[in-house]
Amino acid sequence: MKKLDKDRFDSFINTGNKVVEFSADWCVDCKRVAPDMPGIAAKFASQFEFGELDVDESRTIAEEYNVKGIPTFIVFKDGKEVGRLPSRYAKTKEQIEAFLEEYSETKE
């Protein structure tokens, strides 16, 4: 997963199919799913490129996308948001994978 910041965020999401995990170092749920993220990213590598944005370091972007809880996963297609998995549904590997399966068709 690419580490994103305010300088790299727009260019990252601008083209193609991207998934951005909005997270923070102190977030318990983020730490809970972190060990699963490399496997999830590998499983969906043919459909999405993955990035991670620390909401504390890039607060304005989190506010711009109305991210209220973390982790939140947003799927972008050519710079436009096409799907969102809010924190209340992003607690397990299974929830994250089911969400990505649903949006993997956005590649077409």
CATH number at residue 12: 3.40.30.10
Domains of the chain: total: 1
pLDDT digits (tens, 9 = 90+) for 21-61: 999 999 999 999 999 999 999 999 999 999 999 999 999 99
In the residue annotation, 27 being an active-site residue is answered as: yes
| 69 among known catalytic residues | no
Which of these is catalytic: 20, 30, 41, 96? 30
Full residue range of the structural domain in which residue 50 is found: 2-107
Per-residue pLDDT tens over the stretch 60-72: 999 999 999 999 9
Which residues lie below 8 Å from residue 80, measured CB to CB, with a gap of 6+? none
Of all residues in the chain, the percent with pLDDT exceeding 90 is: 94
In the structure encoding, which two tokens stand for residue 80, read together?
């436009």
From the candidates 13, 19, 20, 27, give the one annotated as an active-site residue.
27
7 Cβ neighbours under 8 A, 6+ residues apart: none
DSSP assignment of 10-73: HHHHSSSEEEEEEE-TT-HHHHHHGGGHHHHHHHTTTT-EEEEEETTTTHHHHHHTT--SSSEE
Residue 107 has pLDDT above 70, yes or no: no
